[in-house]
Structure 1
Amino acid sequence: MIKDILNYDVKYVRLPYGSYPKDAIKFAEQLGFVITEHSLDSKDFLGSSDAMVHSYQNALSPTSNFIAVHRDHAKVTALYLPNIILLIKKQRLRPFLLSQCI
């Protein structure tokens, strides 16, 4: 179904909310997915606030290598994405697909 919508074979998935129940992992692996984790959570699921933007700034560090931006809250993510991108560029990080680094 995902391929029909995106015209792209999805191989890697991150389970929601940083939760990795064994039954969910088993189910995803049976479907052929590779489970990934994140080292920096955008916390955009918390809702919109100026404090949320500062949480990105405080969370970004040179050792972080993956930022989770939650698509289930697209309006909030879209609202703060320009600020997030500025913070990422300021630290000279660059966006990429997870599949590019594996």
Structure 2
Amino acid sequence: MKFFYVFHAKSIKQLTLILIAAFFTALFLFMETSIHMPVFSAKDGPKAVYKGEKDIALTFNIGWGDEKTEPILDVLKKEKIKSATFFLAGSWAERHPDLVARIAKEGYEIGILGYNYEDYTELEEGKIRQDLAKAQTAFAKLNLKEIKYVRPPTGHFDKKTLTSADRLGYTVVHWSLDSKDWTNPGAKAIVERVGQAKNGDIILLHASDSAKQTAKALPEIIKNIKSKDLKLVTVSEMMANADTSTEEIK
């Protein structure tokens, strides 16, 4: 049996418009989900680390508030997790030296989350270095002088950011899996999202007051990671134990 299809010019035009609209919609969604990820650029120059070859690195950003950090530290202590990396804003660290001291005392790695909460892609290179240097001074006053890593405050960065961090002796660390915990979607949703973690992932979590459900989700997150026989490490341990993925950026 043969079938014959008749296409009218009007129908073809409508179909073409639909396909074009679908393409640009898909492109927009891709860019939205990829906006924080580094992009390829020139071969030379500093790069951002965002993924390792093995193990899992839990990283926590803290920019403001004093209510959610201790519950998260309590969970890590209860679950006997010795390795995690905290990226702290310099201005926050100055206001909460007791919390900084506890993070350091309990053996967790500390990185810099800038000083002020500013989008580095909107700043000139000199202003970026100024912000990082101000954070560097704040941490030095708290007797934290061996910091190796920087995470831009808003997560956005460009070549200026990488160059500024490199000139001050820091490596920019991004992430490969965003928990979206700051949107407070519910502990179950956070657990499910982080449950997608695979070997080598650097996971973004928050210990600021804006992330109200992270501490509640954390025990199940840890349980799931252990059930996959994945080891929890600091960013430094991940970089030392295996090759890391880096992306060059414009």
Q: Structure 2-normalised TM-score?
A: 0.34
The answer on 1:68 being equivalent to 2:204 is yes
Q: Which has the higher helix share?
A: 1
Relative to structure 1, the CA distance from residue 30 to residue 70 in structure 2 (aligned partners, 3 Å threshold; closer, same or farther) is farther
Q: How many residues align?
A: 100
Instruction: Give the structure 2 partner of residue 7 of structure 1.
Output: 144
Specify the code of the residue in structure 2 equivalent to 1:70.
H
The farther-off stretch of 69-78 and 85-94 is 69-78
User: Cα RMSD (Å) of the superposition?
Assistant: 2.5
The answer on 1:56 being equivalent to 2:194 is yes
How far did residue 82 of structure 1 move? 0.9
User: How many angstroms apart in 2 are the aligned matches of 1:84 and 1:6?
Assistant: 32
CA deviations on 1:24-83 (whole Å, 9 max, x unpaired) are 3233223221112322222222224132222122x223x443222233346432222111
Q: Structure 1-normalised TM-score?
A: 0.72
Contact 1:3/1:10 (CA < 8 Å) preserved in 2? no
The answer on 1:101 being equivalent to 2:241 is no
Contact 2:191/2:221 (CA < 8 Å) preserved in 1? yes
Aligned-pair identity (%) = 32
For residue 69 of structure 1, give the secondary structure of its aligned residue in structure 2.
strand
Match for 1:82 among 210, 219, 222?
219
User: How many angstroms apart in 2 are the aligned matches of 1:5 and 1:86?
Assistant: 33
How far did residue 11 of structure 1 move? 0.3
Task: Indicate the structure (1 or 2) with the bigger Cα radius of gyration.
Answer: 2
Structure 2: stretches of 5+ with no match in the other structure:
1-137, 240-250
Specify the code of the residue in structure 2 equivalent to 1:69.
L
